[in-house]
Each structure stands twice: as C-alpha cells, then as structure tokens.
Structure 1
Amino acid sequence: MPSEVDPLLLLRQSIAAGTSVVSTTTDASDAPETPLPEAHFLQFASTAGDRTALPVNAPTRFLSNDAPVDLRSIYFAWLNREVAIPEYNAAATRLNEELAKAGASATVHKFAFVERLDLITWLEGASEESEYIKSTGGAGATGAAGASAGSKTASGAPVTSSRSGRGAAIDPRLAVIYSGERRTGDHNTVLRGIKPSDFSHVRKQAIPFMSKKQQQAATAVTDKKHPATMPLNPKSGPQRRPDPIILLSPSASSLLRMSNIKSFLESGRYTPSDNSSTATMLHIMRTMKEIDPNRPIRFILVEGPEQFKPEYWNRVVAVFTTGQAWQFKSYKWSNPSELFKHVQGVYVGWRGETTPQGVKDWGHRVLNCSIDKWADPSIPGADVNRWRDREVSENIWKAIETNMRQKGWKRDSGATLA
C-alpha cells in the first residue's frame, strides 16, 4: 500500500464522489467483484476510470480502545449503516463465521454504538471532526481528513458532500447545517446500550413495596365520602400527570400505522408500513419544553377507542386521519367538525397529491402535512429528500404541544379544558 494513501480518507472521498468500491481477491485493476468474506483487497474507482487497490486488513486511523481498526471493518460498518445495533452485531457475527470457514484468521471489529455513530457521521461528510480518528499531523482530530466538501479526491476530482452516502449531492447550505447537528440515540439505545437487557426481575422486587403502599392508602380512608383508592389528603403530595393519548387511523390507506409511526415521530424518518405489527398500544417519550422542560412526557398511541373509559377522552391530544369520517363513528364526538374543536387533527399524505375533500372541509383544525413519496433505497438518490420527514414530524409535535397548552396541560397536571 503506498504510504501516501490514507484508507479512511479514500473511502470517505469515494462515498462523497459516488464512485464505486469493489471487493476483490487480487489487486489487478480488472479483477472481478467477490463477496467480502473471500476478498483480500478493496478497489476504489476514481472519476478518471482508474482504480486504487488497498488490502482489506490495512490499518486505518480510526482507533478503538487505542488499537487501529482495519479497513474491512470500517467498510462493513458503512455498508450496514442503516440497520439497528442488534442487526449489525448479528451480521458481523455471520461475517466472522464466514471468514473462519474461508481460513482467514482476522475478524471484523464490532463497533460500540457511539463509535459506529461517530464513524458513519464522519464518512458521510456530516462532521469534520472525530474523537476516534488519529491526527495525521497535529492539525486536529481528522488531520488530512479535512479534505471534505470542496476538496479533491486522490484522482483530482472535486468532492461534493453527500449525506445519504449514495452519491446524491446535497445543497452546500444543508451540509453546513448537518456539520453542527448533534446526533442522539433513542431511549432504548441510551438505557440498554448495544445489548438487550431484561429488567423483569425489577418488577418482582417492587411487588412487596407496591402492596405495602396500597395497604397504607386503604387504611388512611376514614370518611365514607372518600373513595377507597383516594388518600385522606389528596393535596398532601405531588400530583401524577396523566399520559396524553394519540389516536391513529385504522384505515389501510393511512401512511402512518402502528408499525411505522414510532420511527417517524421519534427519529423523523418515514418508512412504509408493513402491516405486520400486532401491537395494540405504543409508548413514545417526548420533551415538551413549553409544558415541562425537565421531564419527558410519555404519549400513548392506539388505533381505536374500544378500550376507552369516559375520562380518557380528556387525555386525547391528537387524532391522525385519512379524511374518512367513518373513523370517528365510535368516538365521543362522532361529528368531525365537533371532534376537531376539542382535539388537534393531523393528516399526512404524499407530496404533490390532492388533499381529500374531508380534510379540506374540516378547516384549519386539521394539520395538513405532506411527505415525499417512498422509493426503493437501492435506487441511487432515492432518499435524497428524506431529511424533509423530520421537518414534518417536528411540525406535528409543535401543533400537538400548542393544543396541549391551550387545553391547560402543565408540568404536574393534565388538561383542564374539555
């Protein structure tokens, strides 16, 4: 490997330029592509048509536990950048098994969640710094890797920053915005790390304490006018804020169903519904700064009010609809015009398509949102506009928060207005 070639930087430049990276068994420029477990080289094509071959076991400047990570592990992590940590670890285990069968002594490094996130962010050009990448000459964490958007590749071709990593160029102004973006994980990755954990034992340990608390509450009732479940002095302690409820549309034509609503509202990215979810209820944690900036609110998502008690309707803060009035037949307010006087309505449709007449008739009380049509991710540039999904998701949350404030939701209490 030529001493002047930086494997890590070369991979980043190839991603930005949209040129191909091919795994081969030899370093010949005309060598055919071979599966990664059998490959000994990665060949990087330039815009001029020539190839640069590097060994797959070449060390890179990315350090994990102070040890350099090989090029094959870096490339494998990039290929699996869009899968969750458990699926990524399973795929890495399968690749290690295939490498062992092929007689290779090396194994693929499994990145921790933070390392993997930092690596992918740097490779796709959304960040110019990385605490895990060793400097090449003291010019910062990335050193020579500073050749990002606006620099040139080894072949002399200009590089255009690409967030999707599939060669689809993005607006330079967006690249500046992405460089300042702070990447965070969801509550599952923060609490559980890279391995699923079983907390069922905690419930067993809590049963004696919960039973004792219920007995104390029952013995505190001295007046028959108080219900048996109410403490003697309900103002003596902090009130428990009820969980707000979001109703989804059960229509098969709805773009957001139980199988994909969680990822859309939490991560701001749309994926098509596969109708395979058997869940009847979901929970989403969201911080509403204007209501309680210090404690996230847990939202309950259901498709229908079949299990509702009368008092639950005061907790409904949003209703997703496709514009079909039959959805509200079993609601407390079956007339759409009356319903959306009490609850924030949300309609999500494809961008460029006509809005249903029902949504138009219900007026400004129904938030009309449009998202880009879904395309197969394997098609180059298919998700170049998927960043707009987050904007739509944030607009929905903003409308829900405004409606909750108008209904009287506060830090320690639910709605005060019906």
Structure 2
Amino acid sequence: MADPTHTDPLSLLRLSISTSTPPTLSHSPQPADPSSTTPISLSSATYLIFAHPITRAFPLSTPTRFHKSDSTPVDLRSIYFAWQHREDTIPDYISKAQALGDGAVTNLAFLERLELVTWLEGGQEDSEFIKALPAPAAAVAAANTAQSASGQVVQGRSQSYTSGGSGALAGKVRATDPRLLEIYSYERVVTNRNTLLRGIKPTDFSHVRKQAEDFITRLRTTKPATAAVPATKSLPHRGPPTTIPASLTPKPPKSRSRIDPIILLSPSASSLLTMANIKPFLESGVFSPSTTASGPHPQIHHVSRLLPSIHATTPFRFIIVDSPEKFKPDYWDRVVAVFTTGQSWQFRGYKWSNPVDLFREVRGYYVGWEGEKTPDVVKGWGAGVRCYNVERARRFRDREVCEKIWEGVEVWMRGKGWGQNGR
C-alpha cells in the first residue's frame, strides 16, 4: 500500500526540508538535465520534482492543502515561492511576487506566511490554514515525521526485535500496525524557545538592554534614604570620645550630569517664534503672536521634553537662545535645531555661516503663516530645513505643528547618537 503522504505535495515539501534534499524546478515531469548551466526560474518552470523519499513530479499549478483566510486553496508555485523568500521583509516579498507577473503567485498575508514557514520547518504540527489529511494519511504522515525527527525511529525500534531470528518480520509488522500509527499521530517534535519565538526575521532587542543599563546605573548612583534608627537607652560612655578617620567615612556617589541640548531662534523681528512666545509653544503647543507680548522677555529659556526613543524615563532639558554671542566652542556640538526666517544675515557669527553647510549639521525649521509661500531661498538650503505653517485663527492646529517639530528633533538627535556615552 502506497504512503498517502507521497501524493501530497505539501507533505513532501516538508519532508524534503527536514532531510535537506530540496526539490528542483523543471519544464517537464522529468528532472532537468544536470549538465545544463542555465538555471530554471520559478516563473518559467511548470513542474516541481521531489527526490526524497521517492522521485515524484507535481505541476506547479497543483492546489495544496494550504488555504488562505477566505478558504481559497493556494497553489504549489505560491507555496514554494513563499518558502524561497521566507527571510524577506514584507515589502521585498510583495515586490518580488509582482516581478513574476500579475497573478503568477498568490500573495500571502504576514500571518499566513509565518504559519506556513513555521509548519514547513517542523516548528508546529497543526495550522488553521492547513487542511488535515484523511485519517489514514494523517497517521502515516505523523509516523514519517516522528521517524525523520528522531533518526529513523521506526527502523530503530524494529531492529530491537532482531533477537531470535524474527527481527525483520517483527519490524515490518510494527511499521504497519494501525495501533502504532495511531500512537505516532499524537507525537510532537520537541521544540525549544528559539523555535517557538521565531518569526520571519530575528528581532533586535538591543535597545531594551540599553534602557535596562541606564535604569540600573541610575539606581546605583541614587543616594539611598537614611533609615530611621530606633531610639535606644544610652549607656554611660567612659574614656575619650571616639573619632572616625576621614578616610573611612563613606562619600556620597557623584551624580552623572547630562549635556543639555541647545535650540537657536532667529533674532529677526519678522520671526513668528521669538523669545517672547517660544516657551509656551514648545511646552504646551500654544502659539500667540510675539507682537501681543508686552514688556522685556528673558534672554534664555529652559524647556523640558521627554524623548522616549532616546531615553524612556528621563526628560531632556533644552536651552533656548536667539544668539550664539556667548557660545563656547564646544557649545556648537550641543545645538540640535535652528529656527530661521530665510534671512542669511542670521548666520553671521555661526560656526557654519553657509546655510547649506549649517543645515547639514543641525536640524533647521522655518515656521510661517498658513497661505503664505515659503521663500525660495529656504527651499534652496536643502532637505535639512523643515517648513511648517501656523494658522491665523484656528489655534487648535498649533499643537500639531509643535509635535511635528519635536518629532523631527527627536529623530535627528537619535541619529546623532544622543542618549549614548553620557549625552
């Protein structure tokens, strides 16, 4: 009686993967000429030929037991394509599927492709997308899977009956015993955590380690609270007072300071964001024209902002000024954003007086009124300058502009290494 799994292309593909004997593509039911140097592509091939456990050819258009979420069967060509590109990202997988031609392969969703790859690799025995074999075939398939995973289990067990001269016969009877096949159908391949947690690609959790290191460092450097000592009855002291050498007195740990990033504003009177209104705008997303502010304004502001992708718990303190007049040379390494009105005289005295060079080093922002055209000179300074507009009447849109500015600052700081090496 023939093994039912030998007529199922999906089961044969799984067996060939477990035994490292991959199938080959061909233009006919016969294997391709091994002397040919021209590889056969999946788009031009019409047959998939298996060499293990028997030589068997299947048309690539054969429907398989794998069904999509809408119960549509998936053909063998699409199954083999998904296996070949199991390590590709979703965009790469879709683009390569489209490159084969419209409708050449069935596009599998992420969850469907993940289930298929995991089942083919032996990571699981059941899948909601794979129809079950008929009962006898399912029992034989489970027996073959157990035999392949444990190093020819059936042969090994049958050889244990070779004593007494009837071992071959006993092994043959045991291999076809229905009761034994039913037992094999309940066996499962032993897996480990790498198999169970495996996805299409390994996930990089190095950022979690970085956050844990920062958290542990803060715990070590934080001064512990002094424990309350219960009052006890004092005993009379005899002799001179005892003094503790200064060298033995524990010193409080030094707190590690972090560099404050700097934001530069334009000193131009035409700027919408000035020292008079920048603080409520960056802190709360509330914009009010600077012309409405009365009285003198501070020459420096401090704004705190949490940047989760750089440090999940400790906010940064930003220093905001509109002139680099009192800058030290190393202050320019701390500048993370420059607001401009498009007037090049603003950059006199900057480390990079050429705007094109400046906005290669720091993030630039131009904020204008809604409906007004962005100056051409600002557009000519390159992609390093982001342009946003605020509306004259609808103030609820100001918070959206504020969040976009902070998002750009966070992305730029993360790319420059902020949050590492004490920054």
Same fold (TM over 0.5): no
Instruction: Classify the TM-score, shorter chain.
Output: 0.3 to 0.5
- TM-score with structure 2 setting the length: 0.39
Q: Which has the larger radius of gyration?
A: 2
More contact order relative to length (CA 8 Å, sep ≥ 6)? 1
TM-score (norm 1): 0.39
